[in-house]
Amino acid sequence: MKAKLKSIEGSIVAPQGFRSAGVFCDIKRLGTGKGSNKGMKRDLALIVSKVPAAVAGLFTTNQICAAPVKVCAKRVKNGKAQAIVVNSGNANACTGRQGMKDAIEMTQFAAAHIHMEEEVVLVASTGRIGVNMPMENIYNGIEEVAQLLGNTPGHADETAEAIMTSDTRPKKIAVEFKLGGKAVRIGGICKGAGMIQPGMSPTGARPASLPQGLHATMLCFITTDTAIESKALQGALTEAVANSFNRITVDGDMSTNDTVLVLANGLARNPKLGARSAEMKTFQAALNHVTLELARMIVRDGEGVHRVVTVRVAGAKTIQDADAAARAVANSALVKTSWHGGDPNWGRIIDALGYSAATVVEDLVDIGYSAPGSRKIIYSLKRGQPTKATFKELCAAAAPNEFDLHIDLNLGKASAIMYAADLTEAYVDYNKGDVTDPATLGG
């Protein structure tokens, strides 16, 4: 069942009962301090629900995992939360005991300023790894943002800005749909750019089927006024992320901080959803839409990205094979540079398929191109043989800023999708940084 979704404004403050704000508190310690936030990109934000909300979360499966991820994953298990404090500029990763102390203090300090128990305050961070949090700046920022929050209906755009790192633009969405006759809303913001190939699980533990591989951290915060049990919410989020954030790659590096959180405060007063509710499918479809749109925004705004390619593998023997084949193509340096050049090079694609863990038979492979979402495919390869499509035709198919790459292994019925990006000189230039100017050095 496909939900009838209406796009609306407001992102995370579109659902009833959510407020949000963002400030600049100089977390990167660029030298400007409190009160001097005019014109500087915000770097700290609060998202608050008027009432306690059901909560669900997914977290990086990287074994090296940041302090805020550890704090968050534990509190999400309670099933209830009411606020999120988040910063950019410092990942609070590989910061040992001090990092854990700092992450917890961020929630304590925020909780005190918004009059809640610390246990219902979640925390997320993104930025440089291995640097202790500048807690004075954080305290100033939390104080300021808590004040802002009290005075105004909601600053979702400031929050979307505050979580950005190498992102060139904020990423946000909100939709409205009906559940049990009530209008409900889901809003979301996210950030990404580099160190992007998330493989998240509810506990951060690594199932065998998750990708090995991500880096800049992806963060995503979703709010909804839907009334839903936290277990049903966790199930829905897990399914949504499996088909969105866990299917994207910018550079194949998995971050220490990847986090997706959803707060559902129930203020829409729909009949409360449980895992077996008939209307779960409607909610799931809406959540899938929100996460997929946000995930694709991350790929489009990936570091140095010029072209976005949806890799669609079909006909694999198993789901694991389909996934391995899609990831091998999506992360191949040679395939990605050919995308950058607009070169419809099928040799590199079939090469990547051949070294993937998937079973591949050369004489069966089809490779083709289409416009995004279209089934009108121009094939370069059919059953392992070059087609009669001309080089010019294939170049035209690989020229748009976004296109779909169709791969059929013709061995079975399993399929997988990866939302991928090209590899450009701009990516290299950005990430090599300049050691004479440490401010240019990435996470």
**Residue closer to a second copy, measured from CB, 136 or 434:** 434
Collapsed DSSP state (helix, strand, coil) of residue 94: coil
Among 141, 252, 266, 302, binds a second copy (CB under 8 A): 252
72 within 8 A of 178, measured Cβ to Cβ: no
Which one-letter amino acid corresponds to residue 158? Answer: E
Q: Is 180 left (phi over 0), alpha (psi -120 to 50) or beta?
A: left
Only one of the segments 114-122, 175-183, 246-254, 370-378 lies at the binding site for a second copy (rule: CB under 8 A); that segment is: 246-254
Active-site residue identified among 61, 95, 126, 217: 217
**Residue closer to a second copy, measured from CB, 47 or 409:** 409
Among 41, 395, 400, 402, binds a second copy (CB under 8 A): 395
Among 262, 360, 414, 418, binds a second copy (CB under 8 A): 360
**Residue closer to a second copy, measured from CB, 137 or 345:** 345
Size of the residue set binding a second copy (CB under 8 A): 73
At its nearest, how many Å lie between a second copy and the CB of residue 149? 32
**Residue closer to a second copy, measured from CB, 220 or 335:** 335
Binding of a second copy by 435 (CB under 8 A): yes
Q: Binding to a second copy (CB under 8 A): which residues in 340-359?
A: 340-343, 345-348, 350-357, 359
Only one of the segments 1-9, 58-66, 261-269, 412-420 lies at the binding site for a second copy (rule: CB under 8 A); that segment is: 58-66
**Residue closer to a second copy, measured from CB, 271 or 386:** 386
- Extract the runs of DSSP E, i.e. beta strands, from 296-423: 308-316, 366-370, 378-382, 385-386, 402-408, 414-421
**Residue closer to a second copy, measured from CB, 96 or 271:** 96
75 within 8 A of 81, measured Cβ to Cβ: yes
Q: Binding to a second copy (CB under 8 A): which residues in 178-207?
A: 194-195, 199
Binding of a second copy by 212 (CB under 8 A): yes
Q: Give the DSSP letter of residue 275.
A: T
Binding of a second copy by 51 (CB under 8 A): no
Q: Binding to a second copy (CB under 8 A): which residues in 4-33?
A: none
Binding of a second copy by 271 (CB under 8 A): no
At its nearest, how many Å lie between a second copy and the CB of residue 367? 10
Binding of a second copy by 87 (CB under 8 A): no
Alpha helices in 28-66 (DSSP H): none
CA angle 334, 336, 382 (to 5 degrees): 80
359 within 8 A of 411, measured Cβ to Cβ: yes
**Residue closer to a second copy, measured from CB, 33 or 384:** 384
Q: Binding to a second copy (CB under 8 A): which residues in 311-340?
A: 328, 332-334, 337-338, 340
Collapsed DSSP state (helix, strand, coil) of residue 247: helix
Among 93, 186, 416, 417, binds a second copy (CB under 8 A): 93
Collapsed DSSP state (helix, strand, coil) of residue 116: coil
CB atoms under 10 Å from CB of 12, counted, come to 29
Instruction: For residues 87 and 126, give the distance between their C-alpha atoms in angstroms, rounded to a whole number.
Output: 6
Instruction: For residues 166 and 348, give the distance between their C-alpha atoms in angstroms, rounded to a whole number.
Output: 29
> What is the residue-wise DSSP string for 141-199?
HHHHHHHHHHHSS--HHHHHHHT-SS-SS-EEEEEEEEETTEEEEEEEEEE-SSS----
Among 15, 22, 57, 442, binds a second copy (CB under 8 A): 442
Residues 6+ apart with CB under 8 A from 288: 239, 240, 243, 244
Active site includes 217?
yes
299 within 8 A of 289, measured Cβ to Cβ: no
At its nearest, how many Å lie between a second copy and the CB of residue 92? 12
**Residue closer to a second copy, measured from CB, 79 or 341:** 341
Binding of a second copy by 274 (CB under 8 A): no
Q: Binding to a second copy (CB under 8 A): which residues in 107-146?
A: 128-130
Which one-letter amino acid corresponds to residue 441? Answer: L
Only one of the segments 87-95, 148-156, 169-177, 184-192 lies at the binding site for a second copy (rule: CB under 8 A); that segment is: 87-95
Among 1, 51, 64, 205, binds a second copy (CB under 8 A): 64
Residue 357, CA atoms < 13 Å, CB-side half-sphere: 11
Would you name the residues annotated as active-site residues? Answer: 217
